Amino acid sequence: MAGGVELSYRQRTYTCSNCHQETAGHRVIRKGPPEFFLQPHPLYPMTKEDFDYWLDIFRTYFPDDPLLAKAYKEWRPGAK
């Protein structure tokens, strides 16, 4: 971080998109697969079920992301 102190992950505060509470100490239980944002991709295809699972999570926590407008248009699962 330029000109400041970089906080560790546990020290950083994040706001919950559901309750809007801002706290530190969040822990990642399961990370989304990087290929999710690459769909459709011939080398890293996802099933419709996997894509739908991660799309639902993405919609829940990032409802205003412009990428959601492309869901099932340009951005869709690459069938396995």
> What's the total number of domains in the chain?
1
In a domain, 12, yes or no: no
Residue 67, domain extent: 33-80
Mean pLDDT along residues 70-75: 95
The whole model's pTM is what? 0.68
- pLDDT tens for 27-68 read 777 888 999 999 999 999 999 999 999 999 999 888 999 999
Query: What is the C-alpha to C-alpha distance for residues 62 and 39, in angstroms, rounded to an integer?
Result: 18
The pair phi, psi for residue 38, each rounded to 5°, is -95, 0
In a domain, 8, yes or no: no
Residue 61 in contact with residue 28, Cβ under 8 Å?
A: no
